[in-house]
Structure 1
């Protein structure tokens, strides 16, 4: 996308972040002499009325809440070429994700963060809206206003927010692995304030432990490796992460109050942990394949054949963060072009890229020198050549559902074998493009909204291509579950030929066996160490 010069009266200075749907720019209000963030919908989406409406819906939700606890929208408009934009708060001190690059937070800071985010959620829930994507990169840090003692925290990215009334029936299964409540996946249904309680609980878990919560049923208690954290605090957090909505705290305020009370309970028993006690979660939270019931088309170019369906106001909530942890040149405002979303189902998110800052979090480079706290280490070998800028998308795709053979390491290995992680790959002879070598008329079925949207045109962005792989495998993978042999190799065959061919050959067709073997070699390198 070319850089516009102005958006209305706002001068545009530089790009902050870009995703598959929109780009966020650092702007300057020349009348008020103040920096702003400007979110502009991508030109290829601007002509699609459904996407435009979702884009404006995010701005309207933020404006309706109109709270200093959330990113605020100041203006809205269209560029001369018809692309819509809106103007928002510019957060100059980064995000909680940047702060976590240093490791877990002291308990006092955790409590202040929980209080601030809970207050923001309380304001949001008062308007009957559920956020659905609470995570460190969506909590922004803003310089204190005159007279304030510490930095302010702002909730951002309402790109997948929903009115409570709109969640009574099935809606798209959206969220971020580790932070999404069970009821969000595979289809979001019956979502309410307790859905965000789970997200806030996952956020607090990360702040205490320094790691994203594991999948349901595999979570260590958050204080397992921090004996100074009271066990009562861990109890409060684990209740927030209950798989059953009825078992969780009824509101974000109730959770934050209980957390503070537990921390103040000096007579509480010593923290449990050390050995990594597991908490059984059980229930019906297993995630399953998602997608429409209409006939889908398997991958493979023009020869592809159709296959069956696949508040209360509390100022100065946050004590001053250590500035060296948050400096780094005004990090992108509402992570609004950023939020690492699971782009599934029929909803069209307004956000996009996988990293929360223009340069990505302080983690590994593409050649392998990971930060000690690399958040992807649970799912990928962070010392491998998997590019850091695609790791969020890869982790999302690998967790789209529970399917034998499907994992972030498998998605990474398949991308390596297909394109060498080249986002600009172009093979017109085979009609395959982008990092995942999608054929555009096939990708149409697996993009957000499916066949309701036109065939995407090359170049095919990683933000569109990689999540589509997860949707593809989760819809079609169960149809080859009974085929003998290596599940991962069979998934490679599925990706290249389709359900019927894999079934007919009883596994990977001969012409694709070397390709499958190559994927397996990369897979050995990419599994977490």
Structure 2
């Protein structure tokens, strides 16, 4: 049964309803397109989520939460709400970004086989959760059906009807959820006048279950032919009566991550997953390394066939990789490897060796001993120590140091990679946005809806050096 039935052809605002896409606890989602005569600059493909009025207090509270979060959600990994419409009967309609498919559909299409691009999908899903938690929200109903994939394959988390705003360390929401993705503590909770208590650890548990499914083609980490049986296994696991047996096909690094996400005490679950983003294998195509290999192969072939330097140059020119460092660029040789590795460790196209080198020049003129106690910034990347700790690499046998150029550069690459999703969605040049996010902070860039005026001189210097250092 659909919470809201809407006939194809119904016009809502500037949009026309086409097909039914799905229904959740509180609403129904339909495909939409601009109606005839609508402004030409509207999105051509949208999803229309109908949230009905007059369905009782729980439904009204869910609609209010979804509206509150949707109006504040501004992140590349969260489904975007373009517009909020109010119908005469009290129904609220969210005009949203429309995805290509869902993680649930991908799992159904690839039974018992790891999904292609599994590592990238999981990294991007974790980016969404990190952002929600940092903004003070819990999703509360994370599951493959609420993890969507855009036309380019990138992740979008959707359906915020159960999302709850934190009150300190916890929040309250409706007593709804999907059994397969609920943590053991959920089953012990009691309904109060505020609802059921929830925490970010609820989403972390769900992520662990989803990670196992993505890496095994839909196999749940707990045994059972039905969701109710698997939920009983979860409770047995929490009581120490059932062992956690992950599929042996799951790579060792992911086994450790999943076990941490499925830690029974919620406090431990949060503690051991603080550095999860840094521990995840990098997904996505090796776009730069493969092309760099092709360039080298083309040059070698030109020499072997006797074409000489002129032929090699003709073959190299079309294959030059945008953003890679020029051999003659004035970038100190001792830092080139660290710069290139920091850029290549990120699958985001905006994070290039030329950008990282340009920012190091703008920050410190490549001086590893640069210090500014007045602003609490130090080293080649001018890190603030407390911020560096969040992005620091984990070198074997020692603690990362913001004064160590290799550590500082690696951390810079990680931070820039994250900024692509937290500020890179804003209008404007993406490299300028993330560079400004590093210098001024992501909040300042989001508040300015672009490069803040105080960062403009810095960005001009960075962009000039990007052009000078890179192809």
Using the size of structure 1 for normalisation, the TM-score is: 0.44
Using the size of structure 2 for normalisation, the TM-score is: 0.49
Q: Which has the higher helix share?
A: 2
Which structure has more RCO (C-alpha within 8 Å, separation ≥ 6)? 1
Larger Rg: 2
